[in-house]
Every structure is written in C-alpha cells, then in structure tokens.
Amino acid sequence: MNKTDLIEQVASQAEISSNAAESAVNAVLDTISSSLSKDDSVSITGFGTFAVKHRNERKGRNPRTGEEITIRASKVPSFKAAKALREAVN
C-alpha cells in the first residue's frame, strides 16, 4: 500500500472526500515528522511509538577501496509496534 492507496482507504472508511482524507493523512504525517525533528516521540495507543534514536560515531570501511573511514554520528527515526498491532499482524 502506498500513500495514494492509504488516502483512498481513509476516504472510504471515514466516508469523506478524497481531498479531506488527503489533508488528514498529510496533517498526521507532518505532525509526526515535526515532533521527531524536535527529538520528541509520538505514541499512538494500540498502534505504536515513533521515536528518534541516536547513532554514535563509528568506524567503517569504504567497500570500493577498503580504506577505513569514520561514519559521523546521526539521528534516525524508529518505530516500535504496540502489542495490539503485533498481535493483529500475527
């Protein structure tokens, strides 16, 4: 399922127009992105938690030359599924 399919599903289940569903989906995604950019986590009960994890600086190798390089520290988004979602999938 891609974003367009998601918007169509939201529109049909909520019985709203596609434009309204697109606005709602975009608002949710923008809010999650905005919160993560501020290092805040977003918890949706029964669904899961979006959070930011910090990766420390580490050593790596350039696969082409074999030369050792330093990989900079970074932040990456992560998602941990709630128990209800894990059970629904299984």
Summarize pLDDT for 10-54 with one digit per residue, the tens. Answer: 999 999 999 999 999 999 999 999 999 999 999 999 999 999 999
**pTM for the model:** 0.81
Domain boundaries defined on the chain: 1-37, 39-90
User: CA-CA distance, 27 to 67, in Å (whole number)?
Assistant: 44
User: CA-CA distance, 69 to 46, in Å (whole number)?
Assistant: 42
The CATH class, in words, for 39-90 is: few secondary structures
User: In the predicted model, what is the mean pLDDT of the chain?
Assistant: 96
Summarize pLDDT for 3-12 with one digit per residue, the tens. Answer: 999 999 999 9
Containing 31, the helix (H) or strand (E) segment is helix 18-37
